[in-house]
Amino acid sequence: MYMTAPLGSTSRIAIAGAGMAGMATALSLAQKGFELIDIYETASDLGFVGAGIQVAPNLSRILQSLGIWHNIKGDAVEVKETSIRGMSVSRLSMATKSTVLPASTTNEELAHVQLTHIEKRYGLPHCVRIATTHTAGSPTKAS
């Protein structure tokens, strides 16, 4: 008969993947008192990709509950509105240029979304956590 040991602080825990889910799981378990947590990651480098990451209220609420939102929000800016535009033809790759381009490739505004109501409705603002000097090449913090 197969017996499982009861879970306790000395249970060994293996987490596959050091993405947001793996890291949040590891932090949650550590905060619950688990001491033997190994995180396995196949990628050799977990550098910052892109200029920033959008942090919606549902994410910042989780980061708050993990006690790490205050570390992150210093590099975050509130997004008050978004403008969604068609990409200009010159910025498309050669491969893409060979396809038939829709009319929306002239930087015309396709949609404009106000986000100032987000904090009132969800209790936290919609933010972008920008890349900083310790996570990317150059700082881009908005004033």
Q: Identify residues 61-100 at the interface with ligand FAD (CB under 6 A).
A: none
Q: Identify residues 22-51 at the interface with ligand FAD (CB under 6 A).
A: 22, 40-43
Q: Which two tokens stand for residue 123?
A: 């209790």
Total binding residues toward ligand FAD, as defined by CB under 6 A: 14
Pick 1 or 81: Cβ nearer ligand FAD: 81
> If binding is defined by CB under 6 A, does position 19 make contact with ligand FAD?
yes
Q: How far apart are CA 74 and CA 135, in angstroms?
A: 14
Q: How far apart are CA 100 and CA 134, in angstroms?
A: 41
Task: Determine how many CB atoms are found less than 10 A away from the CB of residue 138.
Answer: 8
Q: How far apart are CA 40 and CA 11, in angstroms?
A: 17
Q: Point out the residue whose Cβ comes nearest to ligand FAD.
A: 19
Pick 25 or 105: Cβ nearer ligand FAD: 25
Grouping H, G, I as helix, E, B as strand and the rest as coil, residue 35 is: coil
Binding site for ligand FAD (CB under 6 A): 16-22, 40-43, 53-54, 59
